[in-house]
Chain A
């Protein structure tokens, strides 16, 4: 995917300031046959775009932005996506017990329940860079091993994906407080 288009497509808020566009970005925009020069100019001339758009969104400011996005989407090169199918032969869910510098230990449970739980030591290099910060004691992950077929070519794959666990929220604590108080009240009746 074109990096500029990707940048704008996914994070339109980043184009609020002209300064956000580096020279090469502008070059790509200006060289684009599908994007009218006039529209780019009109877009950057719109004073509201350069000001606090987040706080003052209105139809006047959103409209050029939306049109601009549509144009940018056209910049995305057409890619012929090859059909990919994958078959998982083995699925585990696991949790980290201990974490060391170069490896971590985990207990994995076969989702199909056919095999007993295992303890494994995995080098951290098997984990993708994006997931490394998630490898902590108690973290949960899914591990799939299987075959991946891409345009007739079959390849083995092993994917460990750490779950992006949500954070505890205040409402979790509020709900827990209610439950805890019910338990406490219940126990206090026993003491009476």
Chain B
């Protein structure tokens, strides 16, 4: 694999390790990382592995955006933080609220309970006196202009909305164990659940010269116009993105026809990552049809199909006796890479690696 030219924009989408990861080369060797996942085959942090493969220094990472808090979505995040000291860290405004701080503090050191990456993130920020940038709809997070290659780029957060932050705080407060009292038996320590539906995810709009990229994270849709995609659509943001990272693995819960009409150009190039956990497979065949009908070209980092788990013959035989169903979680992993010159009208060069497919 080769490194992009200084005047080339690159968008790399990796997944599904656990969660997904997006890398953007804005130009002039300046990179942005959004979330983190592991390459299940190599067990490496996919963003760092890729940068290493194309011989890009980790110091070239200028921004790291964390859109989720649960370990399953940001595996390897702490390694990115440690290896990319020059990157500014962006977290959701929701993460700075009392409930999330308590979550990070309470679960610190409990590596098995599902929030260790988030706890490590807070510990790192505090110990290194590194103030995070807080994403909220709508806020400018980074803006740069350079004469070299006439590069101009901007990163804006389009979510979460104020109402979504309040909602997610309530959700986290409900997930937190209660302080033991004389009357009540204390809660048992156990793995914390994810918060669903996800209305607090950070949606990003990245503008590089005349190119707009809309990164939908896992933001879901709601009937309430104050939260989810409707809040973004009602905000009056001026957006005509050519590239769309489809939210929530292309599922119906992240779909709103107005996104395609109001925030994207006609027939955009869209990419998403699958979610395969046993019998749940996203995107569904219906989702795929809908995505294809709305996109000029659409890609998936891997097909949403299960794979039978296989171990030693003796183990397999033993498991057959006890186990009703067995499959690999996130069996496939792929990489969709899009490149284009940043200063002239040219078409996108698409490269698919590993299990990535065109829809």
Interface residues of A (CB under 8 A from B): 89-90, 93, 95, 103, 105, 107, 113, 115-123, 126, 136-140, 145, 156, 158, 165-170, 172-173, 175-180, 182-184, 186-187, 189-190
Contact = CB atoms under 8 A, between A and B. Distances in A.
B190 A136 contact: yes
29 contacts: A89-B315, A90-B311, A103-B324, A115-B311, A116-B330, A118-B327, A120-B324, A120-B326, A122-B324, A123-B322, A138-B191, A138-B192, A139-B190, A140-B191, A158-B319, A165-B189, A166-B189, A167-B188, A167-B189, A168-B180, A175-B105, A176-B102, A179-B108, A180-B105, A180-B106, A184-B98, A186-B126, A186-B129, A187-B101
Contact of B105 (A103, A165, A179): A179
Interface string B130-146: 01000000000000000
B315 A167 contact: no
Given A140-B191, A169-B186, 8 more contacts: A119-B328, A120-B325, A140-B190, A168-B186, A179-B108, A180-B102, A183-B105, A190-B131
Contact of A119 (B101, B185, B318, B326): B326
A173 B179 contact: yes
Contact of A118 (B114, B122, B125, B328): B328
A108 B152 CA distance: 46
Contacts of B150: none
A167 B180 contact: yes
Contacts of B188: 165-168
B187 A107 contact: no
B152 to A, nearest CB: 28
A111 to B, nearest CB: 12
Given A117-B328, A118-B326, A165-B190, A172 B106 contact: yes
A119 B179 contact: no
A116 B331 contact: yes
B278 interface: yes
Interface of B: 40, 43, 96, 98, 101-102, 104-106, 108, 112-114, 122, 125-126, 129, 131, 177, 179-180, 185-193, 277-278, 309, 311-312, 314-315, 318-319, 321-331
